[in-house]
């Protein structure tokens, strides 16, 4: 990887991010996530060195501001020292936004850095999928991880993320990059990469990721006018999904309903939390405390405790109506500002996939996804 040729403080954190990324959750130590540490150091470096701030970051600042205001408001709302738990999530959000500043300053130094990072992101998706297959054949049942707060998955590719939904989205992002390479050159290597990722996506059995992939492909079809070849990928994924073995396992049935009902219940709980503080929310990110107070007991060790099964509902509950309006406005201003080039189309397809995916999972604020999107944003 070319980035290793000359390591310095202005690229070492990107290098470490790329190295750590595919190991997902398996190198987590308690609440300490190495990926967060690397991104945090990059953010601190950006602030101390007063790196030049790109225009897109200026449009994201209002949401950081309202997220901070909502957390300060929550101190008086909950009157508990445990709101410091939410502060950690707020600092993570700030760090990933500043990581975009760090990457942007690296990208602008040399034109070749853009291609280097895009190639690296595709490699991350391929490696993540490969780790998923290793897990699938060596450890297909991750029920033992339930005691550490993870969901019980059987005969699904979950990889190092221990979650098929998030691994599925990483694969979808890789597919978008791979498909754009195919558009440039339908070479054997690019086709094999695409097929490998497509089959890997199918074996996650993640319907949210299937829909996200379809949304991304439709975006590419619309802008690239490559209907015939690309629509076959959606049809191919659909056919594979229908013929996948289910082994009478409810968790991998394509038309399973228990998870749908669980998500509806989660949406209702999130809206109940929102109703308690509709203007500024319960504070970014005090979801665990809010669950304890308004919904019922929720173990802080559970990985579902600090989120919602919808990113927009998560923003609504934690930062209120004001926060959601600013969040949507900030994204709109960023999109309006960005130049309409090829990297914008890659970002657009990826972000559309993310929007669809985030309707069923809090993927917009998942560390690996935030880092990925910030890199794409810095590339435009």
Residue 316 burial class via C-beta count within 10 angstroms: exposed 0-12, middle 13-18, buried 19 and up: buried
Which residues have C-beta within 8 Å of that of residue 179, sequence separation ≥ 6? 194, 217, 220, 230, 233
The per-residue pLDDT for range 319-360, each reduced to its tens digit, is 999 999 999 999 999 999 898 899 999 999 999 999 999 999
CB atoms near residue 146 (< 10 Å): 11
What distance in Å separates the CA atoms of residue 144 and residue 136, rounded to the nearest whole number?
15
Average pLDDT, integer, range 146-167? 82
pLDDT for the residue numbered 5: 56
Residue 68 burial class via C-beta count within 10 angstroms: exposed 0-12, middle 13-18, buried 19 and up: middle
| Residues 184, 188, 193, 198, Cα dihedral to 10° | 90
> Worst-scoring range by mean pLDDT, 20-34, 147-161, 235-249, 265-279?
235-249
> Worst-scoring range by mean pLDDT, 52-66, 70-84, 162-176, 232-246?
232-246
Tokens of 150: 């993870």
Mapping DSSP to helix (H, G, I), strand (E, B) and coil, where does residue 376 land?
helix
Label residue 20 by pLDDT band (50, 70, 90): very high
pLDDT for the residue numbered 290: 86
> Worst-scoring range by mean pLDDT, 111-125, 281-295, 363-377?
281-295
Quick check: 303 pLDDT over 60?
Answer: no
Asked if 90 and 297 count as a contact pair (C-beta separation under 8 A), the reply is no
Which residues have C-beta within 8 Å of that of residue 254, sequence separation ≥ 6? 205, 207, 241, 242, 244, 246
Quick check: 7 pLDDT over 80?
Answer: no
pLDDT for the residue numbered 1: 47
- Computed over every residue of the chain, the mean pLDDT equals 88
Quick check: 101 pLDDT over 80?
Answer: yes
The per-residue pLDDT for range 208-263, each reduced to its tens digit, is 999 999 999 999 988 887 777 777 777 887 777 777 766 556 666 666 777 788 88
CA-to-CA dists, residue 11 to 46, 112, 233, 323, angstroms: 11, 14, 36, 33
Q: List the Cα angle 272/273/278 in 5-degree steps.
A: 95
pLDDT for the residue numbered 233: 78
The per-residue pLDDT for range 272-287, each reduced to its tens digit, is 999 999 999 999 988 8
What is the percent of the chain with per-residue pLDDT over 70, rounded to a whole number? 89
Average pLDDT, integer, range 76-85? 76
What distance in Å separates the CA atoms of residue 19 and residue 8, rounded to the nearest whole number?
16
Average pLDDT, integer, range 88-92? 93
């Amino acid at each position: 990887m070319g980035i290793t040729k000359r390591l310095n403080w202005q690229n070492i954190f990107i290098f470490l991010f790329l190295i750590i990324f595919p190991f997902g959750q398996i190198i987590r130590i308690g609440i300490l996530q190495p990926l967060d540490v690397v991104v945090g150091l990059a953010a601190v470096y950006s602030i101390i060195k007063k790196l030049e701030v790109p225009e897109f970051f200026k449009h994201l600042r209002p949401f950081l501001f309202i997220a901070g205001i909502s957390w300060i408001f929550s101190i008086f709302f909950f009157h508990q020292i445990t709101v410091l738990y939410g502060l950690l999530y707020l600092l993570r959000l700030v760090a990933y936004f500043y990581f975009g500043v760090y990457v942007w300053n690296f990208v602008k130094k040399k034109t070749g850095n853009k291609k280097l990072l895009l190639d690296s992101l595709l490699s991350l998706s391929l490696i993540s999928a490969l780790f998923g297959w290793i897990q699938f054949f060596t450890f297909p049942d991750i029920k033992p991880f339930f005691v550490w707060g993870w969901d019980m998955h059987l005969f699904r590719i979950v990889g190092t993320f221990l979650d098929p939904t998030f691994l599925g989205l990483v694969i979808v992002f890789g597919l978008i990059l791979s498909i754009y390479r195919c558009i440039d050159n339908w070479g054997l290597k690019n086709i094999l990469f695409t097929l490998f990722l497509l089959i890997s996506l199918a074996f996650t059995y993640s319907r949210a990721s299937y829909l996200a992939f379809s949304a991304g492909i439709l975006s590419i079809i619309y802008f690239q006018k490559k209907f015939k070849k690309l629509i076959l990928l959606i049809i191919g994924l659909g056919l594979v999904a229908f013929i996948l073995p289910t082994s009478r396992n409810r968790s991998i049935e394509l038309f399973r309903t228990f998870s749908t009902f669980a998500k509806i219940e989660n949406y209702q709980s999130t809206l109940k939390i929102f109703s308690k503080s509709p203007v500024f929310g319960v504070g970014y990110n005090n979801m665990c405390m809010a669950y304890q107070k308004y919904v019922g007991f929720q173990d802080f060790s559970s990985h579902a405790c600090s989120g919602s099964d919808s990113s927009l509902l998560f923003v609504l509950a934690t930062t209120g109506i004001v926060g959601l309006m600013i969040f949507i406005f900030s994204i709109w201003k960023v999109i309006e500002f960005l130049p309409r080039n090829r990297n914008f189309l890659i970002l657009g397809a990826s972000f559309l996939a993310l929007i669809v995916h985030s309707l069923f999972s809090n993927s917009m604020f998942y560390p690996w996804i935030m880092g990925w999107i910030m890199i794409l944003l810095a590339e435009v």
